[in-house]
Structure 1
Amino acid sequence: MFVVVEKTFEWSSLRFFGKLPAADVVIGVLVAAMTIFVNITLAVVTGVILSALLFAWEHAKHMTIKTHDDEQGRRIYEVEGTLFFASAHQFSELFSPKNDPENVVIDFKRARIIDHSAIEAINSLVERYERRGKRLQLRHLCKDCLELLNNAKDICVFDIDDPTYHIADNKLS
């Protein structure tokens, strides 16, 4: 196996080690070492899994929310990024039902809901606002989201420019 690694490794890539993210370098070295000392199949599977987890971790950091109040006194939250299992907790922490006015709008125009964890995060947020007796509106959600949202049937507002995509969930046919 050492000969396979030695022959197939792109040795010129070593000059990029100082320029590449440290996590990518660690994964590459780990995969090479596992190929030599364990087996190539396990090394590839481990590399793919670690790379996918690293991607999810990094992608979850790109969730942002811009807040402003409109002329009717509503608080508008404009969500930007991808809402999925890795960013669902961060998403929930970005809202403050206790400090918000009576009417709140969450605009998902620049966001994308990917999986069931995201739907659960939205459902949980809806419940938090309802417990405080506040009116919450959700805008620019895809139609699939409405099917999956338990508590949001009456608070979703659909516009002409709403997104059309499918959520990765087994509840949809």
Structure 2
Amino acid sequence: MEAKKAADSLVVMNELVLPNDTNTFGNLMGGRLMYWMDIGAAMAAGKHCNKPCMTASVDNISFKNPIKLGNIVHIEVKLTRAFTTSMEVRIRVWGEDPLHQHRYESNEAYFTFVALDKDNRPSPVPELIAETEEEKSQYKAALRRRQLRLILGGKMAPDDATELKALFVPAAGATESKT
């Protein structure tokens, strides 16, 4: 299986916020946005592994700014890392007020997808090649996010999360400065 570049998984979606997409405040409903984010993430994961994929987990989705009725939703999706059978996907969302030509950050989240074989069992995926500095940073951090997901899901003991633990526990032999 040949490794693939992170850039090759890029998916960009745009949606217009219509009345049926909004709540009583005239804002895009969170569930509708999550639906669009899941579709984009599935497309990016499928591009990477050329197999059907299913959502395995969704990390914290933070809503920074609401997207209003009549605004445009821009969704950018790209893989951050591929593991044995799973892939971490980063989703970034912006809103755009087309009348005032103003674009603003709205959301960000990480989804995990698992590739499936013909019997709907987890299937190996190609490695991911991170090229840019941002891709390399996301790639490195993906292992810590994965360990946290596994701990929270009861699939890993906290003591086994070496990458995550390294953020909080001083390295062996390191001395603390007492200034």
Identify whether the pair has TM-score above 0.5, normalized to the shorter chain. no
Task: Look at both structures and tell me which one has the larger radius of gyration over its CA atoms.
Answer: 1
More relative contact order, 1 or 2 (CA 8 Å, 6+ apart): 2
**More strand as a share of residues:** 2
**More helix as a share of residues:** 1
Per the normalisation by structure 1, the TM-score is: 0.28
Per the normalisation by structure 2, the TM-score is: 0.27
